[in-house]
Amino acid sequence: MGCGMAVRVALACGAAMLVHVGAAQAQQIVSELRIGVLAHDVPVLGEHKEPGADINGELLFVSPVPDSWVADVSPALRWMLAPRVNIGGDVNTSGATSQLYFGLTWTATLFTQVLTPDDSVFFGISFGPAFNNGHISTSDPNRKSLGSHVLFHPGIDIGYRFNPRWSVSVYFEHSSNAGLASNNEGLNNAGLRVGLAF
């Protein structure tokens, strides 16, 4: 084997090891990926004005709370003490308000072995800030006056986990300034998401 060939083989082996180590480290940091499509500005707790749909993507990270800290807590309550950090965003398909958000997500398993030995039904709530590119104040009948580019962002997930890796859920999110600004036409988005756990 020539020197050039040996270098190429060594580089290929090194790259493969880095990819393997990187994937292992990602699995220790990233808990789940969720992707879905949301109806934008649904008329719940407010008037529908803005058009289009939203493409939603969200990463959930492993809880920063070590398992050893909550090992003595009942499994029925453990989820409340071990939230996961989330970061996600909505991209509006019609050029209306898009947003980026982050925060904490608490996920509780409601039922297990519903249809198969590996499945479950879960409920999740999340909270944090959202940063949008919408209008603070506008007279456009197809856009909302959000009052701020930084809004409170609570969310709710109710889903079915087919197995430890794959899930589908109904997701609802609300973004508003809670009346802290003179304009507060909040946004409500709802739809379906597919989850892939790592």
Q: Across residues 182-195, what is the average pLDDT?
A: 97
How high does pLDDT run on average in the chain? 90
pLDDT one-digit tens code per residue, 137-162: 999 999 999 999 999 999 999 999 99
Q: Total structural domains in the chain?
A: 1
In a domain, residue 19? The reply is no
Q: Is residue 7 part of a domain?
A: no
In a domain, 79, yes or no: yes
Decide if 125 is inside a domain: yes
Choice between 164 and 17, residue whose per-residue pLDDT is larger: 164
Q: Count other C-beta atoms under 10 Å from residue 185's C-beta.
A: 20
In a domain, 142, yes or no: yes
pLDDT in tens, 27-78: 589 999 999 999 999 999 789 999 999 999 999 999 999 989 999 999 889 9
Is 10 domain-assigned? no
pLDDT digits (tens, 9 = 90+) for 79-99: 999 999 999 999 999 999 999
**Cβ–Cβ under 8 Å, residues 141 and 49:** yes
Q: What CATH number has the domain bearing residue 115?
A: 2.40.160.20
Residue 15: pLDDT over 70: no
CB neighbour list of residue 131: distance below 8 Å, 6 or more residues apart: 99, 100, 101, 149, 150
In a domain, 15, yes or no: no
Report the pLDDT value the prediction gives residue 27, as an integer from 0 to 100. 55
Once rounded to an integer, what is the mean pLDDT over residues 116-133?
Answer: 98
190 within domain boundaries: yes
Q: The tokens of 39 are what?
A: 């109806």
Contacts of range 148-152, beta carbons closer than 8 Å, 24 or more positions apart = 148/177, 148/180, 148/181, 150/177, 151/99, 151/175, 151/176, 151/177, 151/186, 151/187, 152/127, 152/176, 152/177, 152/178
4, pLDDT greater than 60 = no
Domain that holds residue 67: 30-197
